[in-house]
Amino acid sequence: MTSNILNLISTVLFFVVGFGLLRWINRFEPQWVSRDGTRFSARMTEDSVDAAKWIDVRVAIDGRQLIVSSRGRRGKTFRGRWNVGYFTETQDLKRRHYVVTNDLDRDDRAILRVPATSACVAALDAMTR
């Protein structure tokens, strides 16, 4: 009887610890950035109220524009050249959000999200001025 209770407690404890570790790991946003900060990975979403999915994209800074590429069908809408509009103030201190506009269609806006401590933040801030 005691071994059954110990097995139950250890199983429940295993799942609680596993769930806690998953929550802790998902707090960190993986990002790759080049040494000079002109090529990096980021996440983008549409600038609309009902946009919920953040899509992983690769970004290269080419002068005053961003060249965005992505894999898969989900990121197809973000491929192309984008202009950095401005930095948005959010309550999330670990991430920086930039509003970007499509070079071909000025009405097409999106939000670019990068970690606040990334080397690409300086390059993106320089493009907003």
Q: What is the pLDDT of residues 44-66, one digit of tens each?
A: 988 877 777 888 899 999 888 99
Query: What pLDDT, on a 0 to 100 scale, did the predictor assign at position 108?
Result: 82
Task: Give Cα separations from 37 to 19, 30, 56, 62, 122 (angstroms).
Answer: 34, 15, 17, 12, 8
Amino acid at 74: R
Q: What is the pTM for the complete model shown?
A: 0.74
Q: What is the pLDDT of residues 12-30, one digit of tens each?
A: 999 999 999 988 887 777 7
Q: How far is 37 from 21, CA to CA, in rounded Å?
A: 31
Structural class in CATH, domain 39-128: mainly beta
Within a 10 A sphere around the Cβ of 61, how many other Cβ atoms?
20
For the chain, domain boundaries: 1-30, 39-128
Q: What is the pLDDT of residues 100-127, one digit of tens each?
A: 998 888 778 899 999 888 888 888 888 8
